[in-house]
């Protein structure tokens, strides 16, 4: 779906409303969060959204998300919905989102899912990182395979393989992931100098780039970024200040349907 400039900006402003609501709750209740990935690039390089971006990402440490989720039960404004696998049974991704009610922002890979599909902000959870490199790689691969299977990415290739067809329901129910976490991941020696993004296939970051959140300008508002945001960006992206070629300045989220005033229904897409 090609989004015209005006609609694109209206989507960004809806996302900004969600970020402001997250910030309000986190500041009020002393919960750490940090702008993440391209949203930090936007804050540092553009003082707002990357011009062609149509989403926003934040990090929370796992323990902070647990507190945030509990507080959202009473504190989150009526315009918004905190989505994860517990609050929305039709949701098949790992990473939580805060969605805006009465809007639609539908990706091709989720168009058939019976779930809330409003405009959103992604929450990428940070957790302890295994010290052993082999366990780090195992963590990445188990999480990647589990999420991709739940999202249906592997389903077509599995239909002719009886063993994979047998395993897939166990993967979708996170049986192997739960075994991995309870038997090894939760008990292995952790690297105190690093943390891992458990939602994005195990991206690893130096822990000291986060620390106490730092307030940065974003679309005329002050929001939280990693304390050492520039080091965070250099570690993950390298030269983050140089703009990509013009043909790369596009969204990569496969958006097929947008509605700023109504929730998504499957027959909305003709």
> What's the confidence (pLDDT) of residue 1?
64
pLDDT at 183: 87
* pLDDT score, position 251: 82
Cα separation, 68 vs 65, whole angstroms: 5
pLDDT for 163 equals 63
Hey, what are 154's tokens?
Answer: 């592997």
* DSSP symbol at 86: T
**Block mean pLDDT (10 aa), the chain, length 270:** 87 98 98 98 98 96 97 97 94 92 93 95 94 87 78 57 71 82 88 90 90 98 98 97 90 89 82
| pTM across the whole model | 0.89
CA distance 215 to 208: 16
Q: What whole-number distance in Å separates Cα of residue 46 and Cα of residue 218?
A: 8
pLDDT score, position 65 = 97
CA 219 from centroid of its chain's CA atoms? 20
Tokens 């989403």 sit on residue: 55
pLDDT score recorded for residue 59: 98
Is there a contact between 107 and 97 (Cβ–Cβ < 8 Å)?
A: no
Predicted pLDDT of residue 155:
53
Give the model's pLDDT for residue 22.
98
């Amino acid at each position: 779906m090609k989004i015209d400039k005006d609609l694109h900006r209206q989507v960004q402003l809806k996302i900004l409303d969600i970020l402001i609501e997250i910030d309000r709750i986190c500041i009020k209740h002393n919960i750490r969060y940090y702008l993440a990935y391209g949203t930090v690039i936007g804050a540092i390089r553009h003082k707002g959204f990357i011009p062609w971006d149509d989403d926003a990402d934040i990090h929370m440490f796992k323990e902070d998300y647990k507190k945030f989720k509990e507080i959202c039960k009473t504190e989150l404004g009526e315009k918004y919905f905190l989505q994860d696998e517990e609050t929305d049974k039709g949701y098949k991704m790992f990473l939580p989102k805060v969605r805006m009610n009465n809007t639609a922002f539908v990706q091709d890979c989720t168009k058939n899912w019976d779930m809330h599909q409003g405009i959103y902000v992604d929450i990428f959870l940070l957790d302890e990182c295994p010290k052993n490199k082999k366990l780090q790689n195992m963590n990445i691969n188990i999480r990647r395979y589990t999420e991709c299977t739940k999202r249906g990415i592997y389903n077509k290739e599995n239909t002719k393989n009886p063993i994979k067809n047998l395993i897939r329901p166990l993967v979708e129910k996170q049986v192997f992931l739960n075994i991995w976490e309870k038997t090894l991941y939760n008990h292995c020696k952790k690297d105190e100098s690093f943390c891992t993004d458990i939602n994005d296939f195990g991206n690893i970051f130096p822990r000291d780039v986060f620390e106490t959140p730092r307030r940065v300008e974003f679309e005329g508002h002050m929001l939280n970024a990693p304390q050492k945001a520039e080091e965070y960006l250099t570690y993950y992206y390298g030269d983050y200040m140089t703009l990509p070629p013009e043909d790369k300045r596009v969204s990569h989220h496969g958006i097929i349907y947008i509605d700023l005033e109504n929730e998504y229904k499957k027959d909305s897409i003709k």
